[in-house]
Amino acid sequence: HADAGTMALWMSRIDQVLAGRRDRKGIIHTVSYARRDFIAGHSRYGGRMLLHDSGNTQEVVERFRRSREAVVLVSPSLGTGYDFPGRDCEFQVIAKIPYPDERPALMQARKKVDKEYVPYLTGQSLVQICGRGTRSERDRCENVIVDDYVRRFMGQYGHEIPEWWKR
C-alpha cells in the first residue's frame, strides 16, 4: 500500500484534473471500490461525484448519462460494456493501471505459460477504458492517467499497446 504522502499527491493530481474540467462530465476509473471510496472521501470535488455499488450500477450510470450537470462518475467497473458518446463523458481519469487479479489458479497457470499474459491483459484493459468516452471521430474525450506506474509499464510493456493508441 502507498504511504499517506503518496496518496495525498495522487489525490492532488486527480483534483487538478477535476478543477480544470468543471464544465463537463467525466469518469474516474478506480479499479477497486476501496480506491473509489478514498477518492470520494478525499476530493475537494466530492459533491460532483456519483458512486454506485455492485447492485445499482445501471441505475447510477443512467443518472450520470441524463444529468445536465458537470457530474463525475467514480467507478471500478466501467472499463468494458459501456459507452459514453458525445457529451455523456468528455474526460476520464485513469486513477490506477488496470492490472488483473493474478491470484486465481487459472491466471497463475497462464502466467507460467506466457510471461507476457498479464501485461497483455493490462494493456488491453487500458485501451478499453480509454475507449469508453471516445465512440466516434467527433468525440472529444480526454484521458488522463495519474498513476506514475504508467511510465514503467509503457517502458517495459509498451509493445502490448497498439501504436494508434500511443500516438
Q: How confident is the model at residue 118 (pLDDT cuts 50, 70, 90)?
A: very high
Cβ neighbours of residue 7 closer than 8 Å, sequence gap 6 or more = 38, 42
Q: In this predicted structure, what is the pLDDT of residue 138? A: 83
Three-state DSSP class for 43?
coil
Coil vs helix vs strand at 156? helix
Q: Is the pLDDT of residue 136 over 90?
A: no
Per-residue pLDDT tens for 89-112?
999 999 999 999 999 999 999 999
Lowest-pLDDT range of 45-54, 124-133, 134-143, 156-165: 134-143
pLDDT higher than threshold 80 for residue 166: yes
Q: What are the CB-based long-range contacts (under 8 Å, 24+) for 64-67? A: 64/25, 64/88, 67/25
pTM above 0.85, yes or no: yes
